[in-house]
Structure 1
Amino acid sequence: MSEIFVMYELDQPPAVRSSTGTSPVEGHPVRRVHAANAAPGSSTAPGPRTLCGQDTFAMEAADWKPSEHPGSSWYTPEHAQLVCAQCDAVMEA
């Protein structure tokens, strides 16, 4: 299996953007956590679709890489309650 990327589906950005320089995830609550394969021919960029078929274009890739955490789940522990059930089912198969 290729590299798996953890993708954050974020809530809509606030009407007024902060100028504090926070990362996109810090400024916007995570709505759902998805998994995506690497883009074809790449190991450093997520592919265009999550494992459940959603477009990754408007999502943010997490710093968490499942391959760097053997024995752990594919998703970030702090977002365990927000995992996409369809992506999780594909990852378990």
Structure 2
Amino acid sequence: MSEIVVVYELEHPAADAERHPRRVHAAPAAPGRPDAAGPRTLCGKDTFAMEKAHSAPPGSPPTSWYPAEYASLVCPDCDAVMEV
């Protein structure tokens, strides 16, 4: 599989409120831009309004494709594709 970018589908809060992740998705990297998400997640959602997750610190081995603190928010469809 090509490079994967983790993106957050954000909540729609009231005005001036901080937006928090509502769901965590995986998306293929944009062609020629491994740091940017392509147009669609692995489950088919548009990534335009999604926020890219922060990268893990250099030298820290990833334990999964998504940040551990958002394990309960992982999109089951994206997770199923990542397990293949």
Higher RCO, Cα 8 Å, sep 6+? 1
Q: Answer yes or no: same fold by TM over 0.5.
A: yes
SS at match of 1:80: helix
Q: Does 1:11 align with 2:19?
A: no
Aligned counterparts of 1:79 and 1:55: Cα–Cα separation in 2: 20
**Which residue is 1:49 aligned to?**
40
The structure 1 residue matched to 2:29, chosen from 22, 35, 38, is 38
Greater Cα radius of gyration, structure 1 or 2: 1
Identity of aligned residues (%): 61
Q: Give RMSD over aligned pairs.
A: 1.7
Q: Which runs of 5+ in 1 are unaligned?
A: 19-26
Q: Figure out how many residues of one structure are paired with residues of the other and give that number.
A: 82
Q: Which runs of 5+ in 2 are unaligned?
A: none
Pairwise mapping of residues 1-93 of structure 1 onto structure 2 (< 5 A)?
A: 1-15=1-15, 17=16, 27-64=18-55, 69-93=60-84
TM-score by length of 2: 0.86
Greater share of helix residues, 1 or 2? 1
Displacement of 1:28 in angstroms is: 1.1
